[in-house]
Amino acid sequence: MEFIAGNIENERDQILLNIWNDISKNYKDLDLIIGYKTPSFGKQIDETPSLIIRSKDFGVILIDFINENIVEFDEENEYWKTSDDEYISSKDLNIDLFEKELINKLKDDKTLFNIRKDSFNFSFSIKKLLVFSQNSFAEIEKINSTSEIPLSNQYLCSDNSLDYKNYIFQDNINIESKFIDIIDSIFDGSNIFHKKIKRKLNPS
């Protein structure tokens, strides 16, 4: 396991820190890289998933944390209203757009992707998860059930966040090393896991 911790020591979202520490403790023997707020594809930090994980066993995992109390989704689910009466961009939309750009980047490599068959040359998956750190599951369920356009991604909240492992560390696909090496190279070149911002963290 390798960590690209960025400025995680300044992170105020305790739910994010709990999951970061839980992964580092319980999955330390897995072949994976976990990056914290690593901007890529020319996107700003708030458009980038909070955690990006590359796992040889489970593929790519995108987790975005919402450290705001959400009270409403707008009609198009493009903006979310907070309890401070402000609007933030929909993380549901942002994570979908990030996934799309990531897939397109991987498809550019012919070793990874067969353009004639329109499929990857190996078992591959991207798992996405939203975590509402300042809302209960019941609160988001209520908002989502009354929304014209409900959330398209799986989500957890402050009161069930440690169930994350049931969503992302399932369905072992065991990607071959020759493909993992290319994926890592592409991630590095896209600034997802760029060496210039890389530093290992030895969690306690």
Please say whether the beta carbons of 102 and 88 come within 8 A.
no
* Amino acid type, 59: G
| Cα–Cα distance measured from residue 155 to residue 118, given in angstroms and rounded to the nearest whole number | 29
pLDDT at 5: 67
**Which pLDDT does position 200 carry in this prediction?**
44
pLDDT at 191: 62
Q: Which residues of the chain have pLDDT under 70?
A: 5, 39, 41-42, 191, 194-204
What's the pTM? Answer: 0.90
Kindly report each contact of residues 153-159 with a partner whose C-beta sits within 8 Å and lies 24 or more positions away, as own/partner.
153/92, 153/95, 153/96, 153/128, 153/129, 154/128, 154/129, 154/130, 155/129, 155/130, 155/131, 156/129, 156/130, 156/131, 156/132, 157/131, 157/132, 157/133, 158/15, 158/132, 158/133, 158/134
pLDDT the model gives residue 194: 56
Q: How far is CA 119 from CA 17, 21, 97, 109, in A?
A: 36, 35, 20, 12
Q: pLDDT digits over 114-172, tens only?
A: 999 999 999 999 999 999 999 999 999 999 999 999 999 999 999 999 999 999 998 88
Question: Identity (one letter) of the amino acid at 69?
Answer: N
Nearest Cα to 136, choosing from 144, 147, 146? 144
The predicted pLDDT at position 202 comes to: 46
